[in-house]
Each structure stands twice: as structure tokens, then as C-alpha cells.
Structure 1
């Protein structure tokens, strides 16, 4: 093994290095019983981030609209987070997706029941709002907020 192989495996991560060594991880969602691609498959990170960006922009606009009369600089972000929490909890809890998720063809799916119940939705949304659990993913691409709520974002 020369230095390029060592540096390449370090830069690409342990998964790629293990796959080159012959370990078969399968596809994302296989362990959850989900299809590899098409409807019902695990949502890719790009789509999830795009949906989050749309939802966040929408919440910023709503928060700015609520604060235009007594606007205080810097207050919009706090109100936007509250609007995001309410929007996400209500829409995911009732129809399974936010406006951004719908635009990108995604929905939240409970692994055992199909539709997430209100308690799971509140837990998932609260953890998503503190961001740290959403930044830690497992091999199936689920954040800690999805693991704790026993949910997954899938393609429609």
C-alpha cells in the first residue's frame, strides 16, 4: 500500500475502505426493509437538505411578516425557529410532510405504523430544532432525530 491508498482511504472514510476490503454493507434502507430506489426508498441527503432549506426560508418569511410592526434586529431567527417547530409538528403529524418535503418528493414514514403519531412527531421535531441529532447519521442515512422517533424520510 502506498501513501496515496492510505490517504485516499482516510479521506473517503472508513465505509469505502471497508468496502474495498470486501465488506458488503448492502444499500441504504436494506436493514429497514425498504426498497433500494424508487418510491419508499431512503431519501438522499441532497433532497433532504433542499427540503429543509425551503422550509426554513418559508419560516423566515412568516416570522419576518409577524415581526414587521415591531421589528427588532436579530429577533427573526428565534421566531423562525418557533414557526419551523409549529409548521413541522403540524404538517408531519397530520399529512406526513412539510411544504419543502412535498416539493422535493419526500415524506416521513414511521417504521412500525406507517404514519408517525403526534408524540413521535413532537419528539422528532424538537430534536431536529436543536440540530445536533440531525447532523449525526447512521449507515442508512437516518439522523438521531429519526432513530429516536423510529421514523425515516422516504421518497414519495
Structure 2
């Protein structure tokens, strides 16, 4: 093998911006910057819905005699409902959330090219959160810190992956692709 062939082989293993997806062919990957913009937009939507619901539900569920822990529990339960309802449901049914629609990207099942479905969407959502939630009170602080760092690195891991897959994408067998040319890559 010549030096040129070795360089081409090395480049083909690195980031090309394209990936083969069964049943739909070669598709363009969403860039990390575009995915970040979608995540920020989705975070704004979820926070807005949570603030509204927390205040509306809080008026009926929590009264002045309820402890601070009770109010915190109600607020976190509402937030969890919105996170699962917003992220998992939309990804399972349509492959995209409102933020992903705006930046024109979607999540696809790597093996079929279709929508991820409920199981894969739940895995994608849960992988970054489960380590921190499971370890929060059970293990010593250094282990909890390591779990937190892992949860932060999970979405960042797509930056150095050849297919722009974060650990959550790899666990679920999904990839995020561009669906059109309306949005300029960030």
C-alpha cells in the first residue's frame, strides 16, 4: 500500500460529514453546532412550559403549609413530565423536537433510517441523566462527581466521533441528520 492509499484510508475513517443509513442511503450529518442550537431552543421551550405549569399546578397542589421539600418535589415532578413528554414523545413519533424542526435536523434509527421509536428515544434521553440520578445519594461525592462529568461528556462526545454520535446516540443506535438546506451549518 502506498503512502497516498494509507492517507486516503485514514481520511475515510475520519469525519466526512456523511453516513450510510440503511434503507435511505447516504445522508448528511448534522453538525455539532447545529445540534447545540437545537438543544438551546428546546431548553428554552421546556423551561418556559415548566415555569408556566409549575406556577399553575403549584397553585392547586401546594399550599402555604406544604414544606419546601414538598414544593421542590412537585416542581421536579412537573419538570420530569415535561422533559419526557417533550423530548421522548416528539423524537419517538417524528424524529425531531421543535428545536430540531427549526434548524432542520432529525434523529433517525441507524439501522432502518426511520423514526427512532419509543425505546430508542427513551434510551437517548436517559443515558446522560441516569448516572447522576442513580448515584446522587448512594455513593460518595467523588463517584457522584465522576458520574456528573460523564453526563456532561455524553453529549460532548459527538464532537470527536466520526459519525457525530454522542454516547446517547451510540447506546440508542441513532444518528442526527440534516433534512434540508434551509439552515446554514454552524
Q: What TM-score, normalized by structure 2, do the two folds share?
A: 0.60
Give ranges in structure 1 of 5+ residues lacking alignment: 1-20
**In the alignment, what sits opposite 1:112?**
111
SS in 2 for 1:107: strand
* Greater relative contact order structure (CA < 8 Å, 6+ sep): 2
Instruction: Note the 1:1-156 alignment, pairs <5 A.
Output: 22=7, 23-24=10-11, 25-26=13-14, 27-30=16-19, 35=26, 40-69=27-56, 70=58, 78=76, 79-80=78-79, 82-114=81-113, 115-129=115-129, 131-132=151-152, 133-137=154-158, 138-156=161-179
**In the alignment, what sits opposite 1:3?**
none
Residues 1:81 and 1:104: Cα distance change in structure 2 (over 3 Å): farther
Of 122-131 and 50-59, the range deviating more from structure 2: 122-131
- In 1, the alpha carbon distance for the partners of 2:176 and 2:169 equals 8
Of 133-142 and 54-63, the range deviating more from structure 2: 133-142
Q: CA deviation at 1:93?
A: 0.3
Deviation string for 1:61-95 (max 9, x for gaps)? 000001224388x9598444542232111001001
Asked whether the equivalents of residues 91 and 97 of structure 1 are also in contact (C-alpha less than 8 Å), the reply is yes
In the alignment of these two chains, the number of paired residues is: 131
Who wins on radius of gyration, i.e. which is larger?
2
Q: CA deviation at 1:140?
A: 2.0
Give ranges in structure 2 of 5+ residues lacking alignment: 1-5, 60-67, 131-150, 180-186
Q: CA deviation at 1:125?
A: 1.2
